[in-house]
Structures are given as structure tokens and as C-alpha cells.
Amino acid sequence: MKYHKLVENAAKPNGFWGKMMIKSMNKNHSSLTDWGLEHIQIELGSKVLDIGCGGGQTVSKLCNMVGNGKVCGIDYSELCVKKSQKLNSKSILCGKANIKQASVSSLPFDDNCFDIVTAVETFYFWPDKPNDLKEIMRVLKSGGKLLMIFEMLRSDDDPFKWERVEKMLGIKAVDENEIAQLLEDCGYVNVKTYTQSGTSWLCAIAEKPKEQI
């Protein structure tokens, strides 16, 4: 019962079980997120967007990495926006962070405004993945990078590992080659993927092509 209520709230946290899920995500995604962030260089002064920011822990980590840069977070769950705002209240007060309620499918930002976009454990839930990836490309600067981090990697060693969660949430664990191919099909370049032995973690990094002058 408890497990079901918690897992159901991974897609769009709401109410009591949503609050419990947010607590659990902030705790359980921390080392996965740190590992994923190790694969990308974040320059001081960067402008970064975290999509599906959940309880706001990634926004907080990013705020500590960008120096005098800026970090925005978006999530379509009202509860997540409130919790992220609470966790990052100091950074919001000093104008470093900004958290908005929005869907990945329609980002409330101008074209070409972010150096980096991150998305931790959220891709599975997006309604129209190819178009959502193109929407992210719209807000990335030329040469900007998308970093996606996953805990649910499908592997031949244990193909049914995620079956229960997949059925409960109507989502699919990701395949390393399929993710890379999808990113390329959506127009991203320099696509790289990384896995961590002994885990089912995957991190994918892709670049918006640089404008030809």
C-alpha cells in the first residue's frame, strides 16, 4: 500500500504521498545526481535550467556550482514547485534561483537562453519525447548542453528489473542506444552516454549544434 502510494506519486507529486515522495526523491537521487553532474563541466556564470525539478535538490546543487550564474527550475506539479521554492528560498531571495510551474512541452523561456539544461529521473514521464527534446533545444544556446540522468536503465543482464514500476506508472525504462539515437534524431550533436558499473545508472549528454556563421 505504502509502496504503491509512493511510486504513484513519482509522476506528478501531490498531497500527503506526494510530500513523502519528494522527501524520498531528494534523499535517494542525491548520489545519482552527483554522479551525473560529474560528466559535465559547468562554468562559473552559467545559466542552467533543471526540468522536472521535483523537491529542488538538483537546483540547490547547481546553485552551488554556477558562482554568480543563474539556475531556473520547472516542474508541472504545484507541490514540487512549492517544495523546491522552500528548499532554495535563500537563492531565490538573492535572485540566483527561480522556480516556475510549467511543462517540459511548453517552456516559459525565450529561445537560446540556457548554457545547460538538466533533467534527472523525469524523461520517462514526458508526454511527447521527440517534441519535448526539440522544445529543450529551442531554449538552449548554440553549443549549449543537455544532461539527462536516469536510474532506470534496461539491461540484458536483468531485463525485468523495472517491470513492476513500469506497469504501475505506465512508463518504460530506458535503453542506452535508443536514447542516443533519439537525441541524434532530434538534431542534437556530440551525443555521449555513460553508465556506472554495479548500478543501473545512465547519463546522456548532447549538444545543440553551433550556429554556422
- Give me the residues that bind ligand SAM (CB under 6 A), please: 10-13, 25, 29, 52-55, 57-58, 75-77, 80, 103-104, 120-122, 125-127
In which residue are the cell numbers 543537455 written? 146
Smallest separation, CB 104 to ligand SAM (Å)? 4
> Nearer Cβ to ligand SAM, position 53 or 133?
53
Q: Which is nearer to ligand SAM, 66 or 120 (CB)?
A: 120
d(Cα 87, Cα 6) in Å, to the nearest integer? 21
Cα–Cα distance between 194 and 192 in angstroms, integer?
Answer: 7
Q: Decide: helix, strand or coil at residue 145.
A: strand
Q: How many angstroms separate the CA atoms of 138 and 117, rounded?
A: 11
* Residue closer to ligand SAM (CB basis): 143 or 163: 163
Nearer to ligand SAM, 87 or 142 (CB): 87
Give the residue nearest to ligand SAM (CB): 54
Q: Helix crossing, 176-185 with 129-139: angle to 10°?
A: 60
Q: How far is the CB of 58 from ligand SAM (least distance, A)?
A: 6
